[in-house]
Amino acid sequence: MRIAVDLALCEGNGRCAGTAPELFVLGDDDKARVVNQTPPKSLREKALLAARLCPRQAITVVEET
C-alpha cells in the first residue's frame, strides 16, 4: 500500500492526523504530511478511514501488489 496527500487539495483540517497519527502529521503550513508512505498492512484500515474522512478527498491510498 502507498499513501499520498495532494497538497493542492489539503486544507489542513487534521482529520487524518486525528484518525491515524501513526500515518499523518500536520506540517508547519497546516497541511497533512504522510509519516510513512508505505506503511505495514496492519495500518490499512486506518489509512482507508483517514482517506474517507478527508473533507477535500486529498488522500490517496493505492494497493500495491
- What is the structure's pLDDT at 18? 97
Residues of the chain predicted below pLDDT 70: none
The CATH number of domain 2-62 is 3.30.70.20: yes
Domain ranges of the chain: 2-62
| The model's pTM | 0.92
- What is the structure's pLDDT at 64? 83
Cβ atoms of 33 and 21 closer than 8 Å: no
- What is the structure's pLDDT at 1? 94
Dist. CA 36–CA 55, nearest whole Å: 21
- What is the structure's pLDDT at 9? 98
